[in-house]
Structure 1
Amino acid sequence: MTRRLPNFSALRAFEAAARHENFSRAAEELHLTHGAISHQVRGLEEELGRPLFVRHGRQVKITNDGLKFAQFLGKAFADIAAATDAMRAASISQRLTITSIPSFAARWLAPRLGRFIELYPDIEVVLQSSGALQDLAREGVDVGIRFGRGHYPGMVVLRLMGDVYYPVVSPHYRGGQLPVAPADLARHTLLRSVEHWTPWFNAAGLDLPEPAGGLLFEDLSMLIRSAADGNGVALVRHVVAMQEIASGQLLRLFDIASPSPDEYYFVTPPNAASKPQVQAFRDWLLEEIATFQRQQA
């Protein structure tokens, strides 16, 4: 048989009033009015069939029965608070914080993360996009996706995959009068970024100087956008530019690619490496990369 409990708001009002032995202070704590506290307590007294306070005008004194009841309620509310904290802690323990270089986060990882979330709906994923080399452990980050040489002291490091560079251009660049051979690039606008052209020039057998002057793009997404707008020829990483190539916004020029000396790495602080959500994300990411590489082959 289900026992009928008193109104929870009335119990909270009474417990606070008993603790302060003052209706006004209880009202401040619960963000109510003095009258609301008085009304709740009086309704509780009527339901219980006995007084909980002795009233002298606006002064109140708790009865012996009221004191015993308040002590039971105080313990019950403390248990509820502890259970709530435990639930919140469990929720936080299932949070997965990932930081990634912006180009990889926006163009490769984010479009695929929905599949991970479908597989692990209880994991809250926080994706941060940053090109800075953060202190992952100090900033509470579980996983960093880095593009570099794999030297990250004090971290658990796993190589994910490499990448290659090649030039791309909008099909509408110069009214469709596109470079036909690598040597033609000497007469075209080469967009600049933090990724140098010289290694690709060498792979193509060209003796051209590194482009200088004008706008320098630090964000590869902005470089790709500029190329798609027809502003010039861009040297891009395959993983970053493949969406625009697949959609026809960009065309790959020539069948020459230069391997990137930098590669993608999975980096995690040692104290986070054993977390179930980190291990699940690592395994999922490796499977996604294997599928991606098979598709590209």
Structure 2
Amino acid sequence: MVDFRKLPNLAALRAFEAAARHESFSRAAEEIHVTPGAISHQIRALEEELGLLLFTRNGKRIAITESGQRFAAAIRKSLGEIATATAALQEQNRQQRLVVSSPPSFASRWLAPRLWKFVDRHPGIEVVLQSSSHLNDLARDGIDVGLRFGVGNYPGLKSEKILEEFYYPVASPHYRQGRLPSSPQQLRDCVLLRMDGLQESWLPWFALAGLDLPDPAGGLVTEDSSLTLRAAADGAGVALTRHAIASQEIAAGELVRLFDIALLSDRAYYFVTVPDVAIKPQVQHFRTWLEEEIALFKAHSRWPGRVSN
């Protein structure tokens, strides 16, 4: 058995290997980020410990001895094995990490409340959930999975549709002291909340419901669907919302779905990955779990009835 207590100082061995490879204390010092004096001191101490010269010195010029060459080759091989083992361990740790990016509303209202199930099933995988309204560069930002709400056109990426989405109006059960509209026509007398942007326009839903109304103007306009839902739950008006986003508040009784008219969106949720990343075990585990959760969601939530696209 090797007595590791007799091993030379590791820092001195690293300094010696670098000096032997470069045949220069100065260049070894630059590589290790110490001073040339520190390299010289470490090698002197190593020579004293070994009882032999590793370099011959002629002023500032050095030359490695024959014994030094043999020792340097052995040290280089051992340090290489340590470096390889370290890289393998770091890669294994990276493989157990899963970075998921999602739009804020979907992350907070649908994914996060369910994510503990995945963590329980795969305790060895560290999940990092990022929420952003912007499209991340998955490869550049080190993101394994991007959950995106769009039309599925993501050049250079692998994308799979995982969940369609529907729009319908919701309101607090206490809106107007509980006198909620009983027909789409009564929306003419309601405060209609809206988000900024054409994608969240009321007009397509109005057309499906047979209403000849302009898109709402004035009043509260938000840039996030979570804020719109919060305003609706607080009784500020009627919001046009997405089914997956509002399901939590509807189940809790904070919001009530109005009418049985739902508009199938031309956008959907997509599971997006860099092609090389899609084969990672943790990505495949997450994809399988997500499919199961979506199936449960469809089975247990009130899936929209009368729909159109």
Is it true that 1:2 corresponds to 2:2 in the alignment?
A: yes
- Partner of residue 79, structure 1: 81
1:133: how far off? 6.4
* Residue 290 (structure 1) aligns with: 295
Deviation at 1:123, TM superposition (A): 4.2
Partner of 1:179: 180
One-letter amino acid of the counterpart of residue 171, structure 2 = V
RMSD of the TM alignment (CA)?
A: 3.7
Which residue identity is paired with 1:6? P
Question: C-alpha displacement at 1:15, in angstroms?
Answer: 1.7
1:26 — aligned with what?
28
Tell me what 1:45 maps to.
Answer: 47
Partner of 2:305: none
Give aligned-pair identity as a percent. Answer: 56
TM-score normalised by L of structure 2: 0.74
Contact 1:149 1:261 in 2 (8 A): no
How far is the alpha carbon of 1:289 from its aligned partner? 1.5
Judge conservation of contact 2:175–2:236 (CA < 8 Å) in 1.
Answer: yes
> Which piece of structure 1 moves more, 268-277 or 148-157?
148-157
Correspondent of 1:62 among 58, 64, 76: 64
Unaligned stretches of 5+ residues in structure 2: 303-309
Q: Compute the TM-score of the two structures, normalised by the length of structure 1.
A: 0.77
Match of 2:264 among 232, 245, 260: 260
Matched, 1:212 2:188: no
Deviation at 1:221, TM superposition (A): 2.0
CA contact (8 A) 2:182 2:259 kept: no
| C-alpha separation in 2, matches of 1:88 and 1:295 | 41
Deviation at 1:86, TM superposition (A): 3.9
Maintained 8 Å contact 1:137/1:269:
yes
Q: State the one-letter code of the partner of 1:104.
A: F
Query: Structure 1 residues 73, 241: closer, same or farther in 2, change over 3 A?
Result: same
**What is the aligned length?**
295
Structure 1: gaps (5+ residues) = none
Amino acid at match of 2:3: R
Cα distance change on mapping 1:294 and 1:202 into 2, 3 Å: same
1:251 aligns with 255
